[in-house]
Amino acid sequence: MPYPRDEEPQAGLWTLHVHGDYERAHVAALQALKLNTASGNNYVNLAYSYQWIGQIDQAKTTTQKSRAHNLDSPWLPLVLYNVNFLAHDAAAMEQEVTNLTYDLSSRAKRGIWVFACWSDTDRTGKNPDPSLRSG
């Protein structure tokens, strides 16, 4: 590896492995975070990989560590929403949607809000955001 202290190649490997080789994605996410603990996206990638290998508690702990260190990522609310969905924690899911609606400053966060509403519509049959309801 030409730049052994650069997390970007590991993040790239994570991206390659997310399409089914979750164990290898997990190893790449661990390595990227080890190389750069100041990246909120590295925490998100690791949380997703924990989710994919069935370690929901570790995924939640990873996101909590990211927030404890004030490391933000536009994807953090989405991964937390997904983890809380898998943990059957409706109150925590609702809290993530509420947190997100207070800060829709970036395009990515607005996209995540739409996805969360779509996911909620799919789960309940009713969309929580009237502006996104059909009919």
67 within some domain: no
Of the chain, the percentage scoring pLDDT greater than 90 comes to 25
84-112 in b/e burial notation, b at 16+ Cβ within 10 A?
bbeeebeeebeebbeebeeeeeeeebeeb
Say which residue, 39 or 72, is predicted with more confidence.
Answer: 39
Looking at residue 118, its pLDDT comes to: 56
Rounded mean pLDDT, 26-33: 90
Same domain, 52 and 1: yes
Q: What is the span of the domain harbouring residue 49?
A: 1-56
Same domain, 50 and 78: no
Please give the mean pLDDT across all residues of the chain. Answer: 75
133 within some domain: no
Same domain, 6 and 52: yes
Inform me whether the pLDDT recorded for 128 exceeds 80: no
Looking at residue 55, its pLDDT comes to: 95
Same domain, 51 and 10: yes
Name the residue with tokens 């898998």: 86
How many structural domains comprise the chain?
2
Same domain, 14 and 42: yes
pTM of the model as a whole: 0.69
With a CB cutoff of 8 Å and minimum separation 6, the contacts of 81 are: 93, 96, 97, 116, 119
